[in-house]
Structure 1
Amino acid sequence: MRAFLLTFVLLVASGASAQDLGETSFANSGEADAQEPFLRGLLLLHSFEYDDARDAFREAQEADAGFAMAYWGEAMTHNHPVWMRQDRDAALAVLARMEANAVEVTPRERDYLRALGFLFDMGEEEQYDKETRDDRYATAMRALAESYPDDLDARAFYALSILGTAHEGRDFTTYMKAAAVAEEVFDANPRHPGAAHYLIHAYDDPVHAPLGLRPARVYSDIAPAASHALHMPTHITLALGMWDEVAELNERSYDAARAASNRRGEELNGHGWHALWWWHYAATQLDDRPLADSLLAVARTAAEADFDGSTAQAHIGRIAAQHATAFGDGSVWNRVTESGRGSLSTRAQIDFARGFDAAMSGDLGRARQIADRLSEASGEDTAWSVRAAALALDGLVLIGEEQTEQGVERLREAAALEAEAPLMFGPPSPVIPAHEALGYALLASGDAAGAAEAFEVALSRAPNRRQSVRGLALARDAQ
């Protein structure tokens, strides 16, 4: 039996050192030539760099076609737990290649593969839905972590599997359970990329964000070669309203993702779009109009180059919506920014922003048309943010139509939906938070005390948001 226990201190193919991706040890049965690409893939996997991780695991397979864990790793790149996405067919194709090579495995490796079987229904007569598969996988990963308590990667992947069971949105109990597991890994190995990464996800809301500052402060230093690792600390700093830090790290993340896309000869990848969106949001909160304008221009150019790309279209719509509402600039809309593609949530962001622009500019007929369309698209089975956006826009248009009482009531309904929803991470959705919109409506109607209360709630959900800070100051001055 071939067995190795290696700490990843080798040089990766790009010439970057191991410290550029983090550090871990993983006993496995692969040949010596397969060790470096396998361990590189493992570290990339912990940072959600799925494309590069897949390439690395395939390198390991080329070095050792019978190396089971290299196939395990490639299959894992097709499961994205935090994003609730999975390509089961692609993963099963990888595992079929593994079986065709008649691989030999250790008992521990067999347990890893058994857990993977639950995740993808490998060899199961009964087909389960994704939610059930995720739950069964988390149970299997708990057993694996308990069977091998010194295996930090097993415990890290167990923490990630717990996050992957939060199908109904952010749930504090679930996320704190994951955090408890990841904290132990982080204490045992402060340079483990998965430990820092999964802790940030677990603490990614304004209530728990202070607990996430410790991993957030080090993750970008643990794995600076991973663009996602450069972005992830800003999940904590954004939740705390630390806009300079949000801008700085997302700029670095965007640059790294852009470079990775260029190396592959591809358009801007998902990590790059995500960083650009958050970087632009930080610019709106810093009230840095020149920076925001330049980033919008970058986004437009990238979206035009990838006009058929769903990721590009979703993100350019969000960037345009937050630009228009932050600066009152209705000139952002063109064939790219309002292409109408993307998810209903993205479409709702765009419609809200365009309706808001129309109402603020006095074009109430256009505003009413957009508000009615958004109301028709929303329903009890749609996301709360879509329903809140529809109610809020309807309320703002009603106020413009001099039906103030009815308009404020609609905004209260939107705020009630927002208050009942799990705390969100990232730039707000709706693009103007419902409590913030309610606050300005109450302030305009002369209810300064009610406005102050609304702004305080808005700031509890989105600390240091510029527009809510300004509104609260105005409301307090008016009392």
Structure 2
Amino acid sequence: MFHSLPRQLAASALALSLYGAGLPAQTLGTIDFPTSGRADAQAQFLRGVLYMHSFEYQSAATAFREAQKLEPGFAMAYWGEALNYTHPVWNEQDSVAARATLQRLAATPAARRAKAPTARERGYLEAVELLYGEGSKPRRDTLYSRAMERLSHDHPNDHDARTLYALSLLGLSQGTRDIPTYIRAGAVADEVFRVNPNHPGAAHYVIHAFDDPIHAPLGLRAARAYSKIAPDAAHAQHMTTHIFVALGMWDDVVSQNVIAAGHNHGAWGPGHYTAWLGYGMLQQGRLAESRKHLETVRGNLGTTSRAPTRAYLMSMRAHYLINSERWDDPSRSWTVDASGVGPAPQAMDAFALGYAAVKRGDRSEAARRLVELVERGKRSPENDR
């Protein structure tokens, strides 16, 4: 079904375009995404798409804006930045910023379409117009997904249309795992992965599609490949471990999250990668090292930390207490500011501290944490359904 440039040729073409544009050498994978853009703007555009495929959204936005500066009328650079404001797997969308981006290209959909010189590029623009058009988010997500399905059907050699269609399927269930839809998305992405095993989006979306204990074996090949496809994308180093966790491959979980968290171990703070790293250490039985890791990230929390960072510290402490069974550990007395933290991390924290109190025989502390746990449960979005 798919036909493309030989892999080495495509990789060389991309590398040469980035080098020619004066960009630092980076390895983010291989895509073949021709547009009508000027060579220097095209190099930045490709960089943006590569970063976007690996969910490195800030870096992607920077690259797309640089492409716009180099060629203000380059429609696909605005398409890329606009699409970059939707994160389907995480059910996040900044439609205001996306619409403002499209407005910078031209005032109306018709005027924007006129900026795209080819039918294929117009297809991409028309799809993103539906994504940020009228109606509820679920309706717009569905219309966008159907448009990407048509685009990939009309241009069967376009691997990026196909992989972005797979990603759109992952967003249809609005942040929950609808298994039949996810399996369909995985099958679509895997078609591309088999033809271009260096495509970052194909490998990445296969992993997301099969990110559960039952289907994880179907994503293992992509997980083994993805960290090597995009070594300069931190998310790629971490994302492989979603499959490794599901399969209990704790050595791989730890080694990959060490890479994802960065070489400066002493500066690690609470976050997604360090949380997964700490959990992996616990599953390996490295209790002393995981305790030291917890102390390090707490020490780097800072006095002006954001709520998500404090939420990670809460969850990391909870995992440590429950998995280490060190019920008297001094971390139980740490005060963590809960302002702005969602009910789920607070509930996890209250449960772990309460369970530790039960194990110590501290009935007063256990009762207090039980009240907290009930209150957090009342504030959970689950109770609004």
TM more than 0.5:
yes
Partner of 2:122: 110
TM-score (norm 1): 0.71
Q: CA RMSD in A?
A: 2.5
1:116-155 → structure 2 map (5 Å cutoff): 116-121=128-133, 127-155=134-162
Residue 16 (1) aligns with residue 25 (2): yes
User: Which consecutive segments of 4 or more residues in structure 1 shift more than 6 A?
Assistant: none
Distance (whole Å) between structure 1 residues aligned to residue 307 and residue 119 of structure 2:
42
Deviation at 1:151, TM superposition (A): 0.4
Deviation at 1:219, TM superposition (A): 0.4
C-alpha change, 1:287 and 1:212, in structure 2 (3 Å) is same
1:229-378 → structure 2 map (5 Å cutoff): 229-255=236-262, 273-307=271-305, 309-327=306-324, 328-329=326-327, 330-333=329-332, 337=336, 339=338, 341-378=340-377
| Structure with the larger RCO, 1 or 2 (CA within 8 Å, 6+ apart) | 2
TM-score (norm 2): 0.88
Deviation at 1:370, TM superposition (A): 1.6
Residue 204 (1) aligns with residue 211 (2): yes
Letter in 2 for 1:326: N
Letter in 1 for 2:125: L
Q: Secondary structure at the match of 2:262?
A: helix
Deviation at 1:155, TM superposition (A): 0.3
Distance (whole Å) between structure 1 residues aligned to residue 319 and residue 337 of structure 2:
13
| Percent of aligned positions that are identical | 42
Q: Does the aligned pair in 1 maintain the 2:344–2:380 contact within 8 Å? A: no
Distance (whole Å) between structure 2 residues aligned to residue 305 and residue 291 of structure 1:
25
Q: Does the aligned pair in 2 maintain the 1:274–1:315 contact within 8 Å? A: yes
C-alpha change, 1:305 and 1:191, in structure 2 (3 Å) is farther
Deviation at 1:236, TM superposition (A): 0.5
Distance (whole Å) between structure 2 residues aligned to residue 169 and residue 303 of structure 1:
30
Q: Deviations over 1:109-148 (max 9, x none)?
A: 1111111111111xxxxx4222222122111111111111
C-alpha change, 1:57 and 1:168, in structure 2 (3 Å) is closer
C-alpha change, 1:144 and 1:49, in structure 2 (3 Å) is same
Deviation at 1:104, TM superposition (A): 4.0
Q: Does the aligned pair in 1 maintain the 2:347–2:372 contact within 8 Å? A: no
Distance (whole Å) between structure 2 residues aligned to residue 311 and residue 116 of structure 1:
30
Q: Deviations over 1:331-378 (max 9, x none)?
A: 214565353541111111111111111111111122122213322432
Distance (whole Å) between structure 2 residues aligned to residue 228 and residue 244 of structure 1:
18
Partner of 1:427: none
Distance (whole Å) between structure 2 residues aligned to residue 380 and residue 303 of structure 1:
26
Deviation at 1:247, TM superposition (A): 0.2
Deviation at 1:314, TM superposition (A): 1.7
Moved more, 40-49 or 373-382: 373-382
C-alpha change, 1:55 and 1:321, in structure 2 (3 Å) is same
Distance (whole Å) between structure 2 residues aligned to residue 193 and residue 34 of structure 1:
21
Q: Does the aligned pair in 2 maintain the 1:303–1:336 contact within 8 Å? A: no
Q: Does the aligned pair in 2 maintain the 1:115–1:141 contact within 8 Å? A: yes
C-alpha change, 1:76 and 1:334, in structure 2 (3 Å) is farther
C-alpha change, 1:376 and 1:207, in structure 2 (3 Å) is same
C-alpha change, 1:292 and 1:337, in structure 2 (3 Å) is farther
Number of residue pairs the alignment of both structures matches = 364
